[in-house]
A = this chain, B = another copy of it.
């Protein structure tokens, strides 16, 4: 491998935001490492698409909920692929709306484990490397649930609210050392077959149709915004931004 390519590591690399960020950064000259929990076939397809298009990508299946997986991944990638210049934490923890009585302790803890603790683990493993180099970007996909807690979102909102504060504490400690942590509030449905698509199943197409033209967030467009964030010069960094389709009501407005 040519050592000159910067590395972009993506945790949560499905066919939605993760995959499109992979393609966008590959096209922009990054060596891509994709990680996801399941669907080896989907992972290979994504890796092949990038490599076929002249990019450079590899992939791994890891379960971010298990001990050492994220930590080992960072170590391995730093050694095998090169210095990680940009990482995307793209794992969510949305489990749909559940009343308190239907939200088990296990579900509540799993929300935290995936949505708050996992990015903390990634930061703990990765940011010392970046800090040593005085540069790096950590992009964090987040959700409206980080901003307000809706009914039924006990697990998800608590986890995402923690994630948002974590991004701020990371930024407070590491931005002065050259590391950019960006918290992106996705405030609308993403046209992502691997997440929303799987949740809605056979109803996904009808749902898309019901939202009309440009009614769902195109993950390729999100990837362009992530690219922009990752390449803001360090005198001009954005810590937080929101994204939604033009026809959607922002979370702060009445429906």
Q: Which residues of A contact B (CB under 8 A)?
A: 99-101, 103, 105, 108-109, 112, 116-117, 120-121, 123-124, 127-128, 145-154, 157-176, 178, 180, 191, 214-218, 221-222, 224-225, 228, 232-247, 249-255
Per a CB cutoff under 8 Å, which of B150, B166, B175, B217 touches A149? B166
Known: A121-B105, A238-B225. A175 touches B246 (CB 8 A): yes
Minimum CB distance partner of A123 in chain B = B100
The winner among A112, A180, A225, A237 for most chain B CB atoms within 10 A is A237
Residues of B close to A170: CB separation below 8 A: 100, 149, 154
Per a CB cutoff under 8 Å, which of B145, B152, B234, B245 touches A236? B245
Known: A100-B170, A239-B250. A161 touches B165 (CB 8 A): yes
CB pairs A–B below 8 angstroms (18 shown): A100-B128, A105-B120, A145-B165, A149-B172, A150-B253, A151-B169, A152-B172, A154-B173, A157-B166, A158-B162, A159-B162, A161-B161, A162-B165, A218-B235, A221-B233, A234-B245, A239-B250, A254-B255
Taking a contact as CB atoms under 8 Å apart, the answer to whether B154 and A166 are in contact is yes
The winner among A146, A224, A241 for most chain B CB atoms within 10 A is A241
Taking a contact as CB atoms under 8 Å apart, the answer to whether A237 and B246 are in contact is yes
How far apart are the CA atoms of A25 and B146 in the complex, in Å? 34
Per a CB cutoff under 8 Å, which of B159, B167, B225 touches A228? B225
Taking a contact as CB atoms under 8 Å apart, the answer to whether B117 and A108 are in contact is yes
Known: A158-B120, A160-B165. A217 touches B240 (CB 8 A): no
Residues of B close to A255: CB separation below 8 A: 254-255
Question: What copy number does this chain have within its complex?
Answer: 4
How far apart are the CA atoms of A116 and B251 in the complex, in Å? 23
How far apart are the CA atoms of A159 and B228 in the complex, in Å? 30
Residues of B close to A105: CB separation below 8 A: 117, 120-121, 124
Minimum CB distance partner of A246 in chain B = B234
Residues of B close to A147: CB separation below 8 A: 252
Residues of B close to A117: CB separation below 8 A: 105, 108-109, 112
Taking a contact as CB atoms under 8 Å apart, the answer to whether A154 and B236 are in contact is no
Q: How far is the CB of A188 from chain B (nearest CB, A)?
A: 8
How far apart are the CA atoms of A110 and B148 in the complex, in Å? 24
Taking a contact as CB atoms under 8 Å apart, the answer to whether B178 and A165 are in contact is no
